[in-house]
Structure 1
Amino acid sequence: MTAAGDARDEGEQMLSPASVDANDRAIDTAFRPQHLDEFVGQQRVREQLSLVLAAARARGQAADHILLAGPPGLGKTTLAMIVAHDLGRPLRLTSGPTITHAGDLAAILSALTEGEVLFIDEIHRIAKPAAEMLYLAMEDYRVDVMVGKGPGATSIPLEIAPFTLVGATTRSGALPAPLRDRFGFTANMEFYPPEELAQLLRRTAGLLDLELPDDAIMEIALRSRGTPRIANRLIRRVRDWLVVHPDAAPLVAVRDTLALYEVDELGLDRLDREVLGVLIRQFGGGPVGLGPLAMSVGEEPDTLESVVEPYLVRSGLVLRTPRGRVASPAAWRHLGLTPRPTDAQPTLMDD
């Protein structure tokens, strides 16, 4: 083989998709802290969870069941992994939408070993028959399996090993009350302030071998919507920009990257601005119901309510009123428009 062929083969090996995928997976794994003291932010939750886990280790028993509630991207899955790691127990992962029948859950529960941690993401979406089975499993470590159908069906009690359930939900209010009440500890996770996101981004930058000054780090933090998942995603795109444009100044690179991906100075993306634009230009600033608003932007109402609306409301750009969503004066100004005169302050919704 020629030297050119050797060089080509070496280059192809270095840039093979398998190598790139393995490297990305390693980075993704490294992003996740292994211990509570490595987890950035959520100080109150960390203190509360630390007590629960320390007490379980001292007793030599399975920890109380834990519910992690909060918006997407705040680290609920990472905390579930930390729970299993700190307890020294295996972790089994599943999600609510995949558990469509009680039999699905019975198969999972019967395979658990003593002290194992079962993580159910989006637990509010678990099927009702499975949720009812979970009540008994969480309380008495037992499930009743139905054998047969009709009048001849019989219920067979099946003992299961003591385990710790960690449930994650973005809508704790959607959980059935009997299920919610069986959790021994509920962690209510909050959005991150920019300073904590900056701390997290410095750790991520180190893992990516990326040198960014404090002003560039803070620029990313301020546009990350208080969400670590978004912050880590944006800094990886900044890394890509600097790989392609190695001579770019860091702060300029950050701003150019975020402009390319349509993330503005408030952290709004294309869909956020589209919702605000439709609300203001098509509906005169509101009030308008969620259904018509979602239809106008071509999205599902659930997407707007769970993904877009929380940040717009938290940023003071959208108000939720009994008559519908209303654009605030700040939203008009953000789009470069003059706020319409209002006769009275809208009445806000309690929820």
Structure 2
Amino acid sequence: MEHSEVDPEILPEERDFESALRPRSLSEFGGQPRVRDQLGLVLDAARHRGSSPDHVLLSGPPGLGKTTLAMIIAVELGVALRISSGPAITHAGDLAAILSGLSEGDVLFIDEIHRLARPAEELLYLAMEDFRVDVVVGKGPGATAIPIELPPFTLVGATTRAGLLPGPLRDRFGFTAQLDFYEDADLARIVHTSAAKLGVTIHARAADEIASRSRGTPRIANRLLRRVRDFAQVKKHPVVDLDVACAALEMYEVDQLGLDRLDRGVLDALCRLFGGGPVGLSTLALSVGEETETVSEVAEPFLIREGLMMRTPRGRVATHAGWSHLGLRPPAGVAPALFGDAE
């Protein structure tokens, strides 16, 4: 069963669009030049040796292309790709069944590998290092371990929380790639490429505008492009120019920095309801009617990265930039140091 990177907002039809817009080779993969070059060397060396490349760990926030890179690795090697995810592998037997079904040279992609169950994780150590699994038959004193030899394969693991990976598992990857947020210029090129695939005629300034509001993330850039495409189609604009792009993004409540309704709601509550903080996460989440996990994992990282908000030992605090973005001024009597740049 195929599992994409975790993003609860992705609908099945969105996944279909994502699949259609994915690059199919390293040469088509936009952005991440350092990772692309390093991975290209790993794959070229393996091809010259006529063997499977080392296991690959892809780390970084959602939407930066980890699943796409796993697919590209299989295509570049000309082998089959098997896809699963950490939460789907709940028992060692689940993983043993997947591993025993691999053919020589196959690529096994495990998304959210940091969420593997401990028994499966321990089974994976032996499989990665010695291409063998020990299947336990029976229970109690009469239980016996039957070794099953595996064909050489390449494991590609993806994680958004590299710090949660146990050291023994992390050390078994021969190549680790940390994916970073994309530059606007790279995102604009991705928007142009995706627009061509969607049959959308788009001006350079419109592509730049979409890119600048995409939070450094190709998945968001492609999603915004599709919404702009919908707007242009319904409003009967044959070409997406800057005015069309801005009107569409305004309709979908994505502002100039890329903040959406949730982000602005959190920042607005922090400033207007709590005087800029400090305020606890659960109280802040309650004020916007969201779960604490949604606020901490979806809205907070971007607000902090943009310097609009910061975490302190006493709670969340708005920065000067956060107040300014809302067109507000910090209340009188509040220490200016509280509203300095986020660290």
TM-score (normalizing by structure 1): 0.88
Shift of 1:316: 0.6
> Counterpart of 1:70?
60
Matched, 1:263 2:257: no
> Which amino acid in structure 2 is aligned with residue 73 of structure 1?
G
Tell me what 1:278 maps to: 269
Specify the alignment match of 1:181 in structure 2: 171
- Distance in 2, Cα, partners of 1:159 & 1:299: 49
- Distance in 1 (alpha carbons) for counterparts of 2:277 and 2:138: 55
What is the 5 A alignment of 1:5-154? Answer: 25=16, 28-154=18-144
Residue 192 of structure 1 corresponds to 182
Q: Give, as a single letter, the amino acid of the residue that structure 2 aligns with 1:264.
A: D
How far does the alpha carbon of each residue in 1:77-125 deviate from its partner, in whole angstroms, 9 at most, with x for none?
Answer: 1100000011111000111111111111111011111110000111111
**Partner Cα distance (2:181, 2:154) in 1:** 26
Distance 1:130 1:349 in 2: 40
Tell me what 1:5 maps to. Answer: none
Any idea what SS the aligned residue of 2:187 has? helix
Does 2:159 match 1:166?
Answer: no
Cα separation, 2, equivalents of 1:226 and 1:76? 15
Kindly report the root-mean-square deviation, in angstroms, between the aligned alpha carbons of the 2 structures. Answer: 2.2
Which of 318, 321, 326 is equivalent to 2:309?
A: 318
Asked whether the equivalents of residues 319 and 342 of structure 2 are also in contact (C-alpha less than 8 Å), the reply is no
1:342 aligns with 2:332: no
Measured in 2, the distance between the counterparts of 1:181 and 1:302 equals 30
Following the alignment from structure 2 to structure 1, what is the Cα–Cα distance between the partners of residues 187 and 84?
Answer: 28
Contact 1:322/1:347, CA 8 A, preserved across alignment: no
- Secondary structure of the structure 1 residue equivalent to 2:316: strand
Unaligned runs of 5+ in 2: 1-11
State the 1:331 CA deviation.
Answer: 0.8
Shift of 1:139: 0.8
Q: Distance in 1 between matches of 2:327 and 2:201?
A: 35
Who wins on radius of gyration, i.e. which is larger? 1
- Is residue 322–residue 348 contact of structure 1 (8 Å, CA) maintained in 2? no
Higher mean alpha-carbon deviation, 146-155 vs 96-105, is at: 146-155
Q: 1:244 aligned to 2:237?
A: no
Task: State the one-letter code of the partner of 1:102.
Answer: A
Identity of aligned residues (%): 62
What do residues 193-239 of structure 1 show as CA deviations (whole Å, max 9, x unaligned)? 11111011111111112111111111111111111001101111111
The letter of the residue matching 2:192 is R
Determine if contact 2:310/2:316 at 8 Å carries over to the other structure: yes
CA contact (8 A) 1:321 1:346 kept: no
- Kindly tell me: are residues 190 and 148 of structure 1, through their superposed partners in 2, closer, same or farther at Cα, counting changes over 3 Å? same
How many Å separate the matches in 1 of 2:80 and 2:166? Answer: 27
Q: Is the 8 A contact 1:93 1:120 kept in 2?
A: yes
Give 3-state SS (helix, strand or coil) of 1:195's partner: helix
Counterpart code for 1:254: A
Q: Contact 1:120 / 1:168 at 8 angstroms: preserved in 2?
A: yes
Say if 2:210 is the partner of 1:220.
yes
- Do 2:320 and 2:341's aligned partners in 1 also have CA atoms closer than 8 Å? no
Superimposed CA distance per residue, residues 153-208 of structure 1 (whole angstroms, 9 cap, x where no aligned partner): 22222211111010111110111111111111111001111111101111111111
Q: Which runs of 5+ in 1 are unaligned?
A: 1-20
CA distance in 1, matches of 2:167, 2:283: 31
How many corresponding residue pairs? 329
- Tell me the distance in 2 between the aligned counterparts of 1:118 and 1:146: 23
Residue 287 of structure 2 is aligned with which of 280, 296, 312?
296
**TM-score of the two chains, using structure 2 as the length reference:** 0.90
| 1:332 Cα offset (Å) | 1.1
Distance 2:336 2:259 in 1: 29
Task: Give the C-alpha shift of residue 305 in structure 1.
Answer: 2.8
Quote the offset at 1:293 in angstroms: 2.6
Task: Give the whole-Å Cα distance in 1 for the aligned partners of 2:141 and 2:339.
Answer: 58
SS at match of 1:146: strand
CA contact (8 A) 1:56 1:62 kept: yes
CA contact (8 A) 2:309 2:342 kept: no
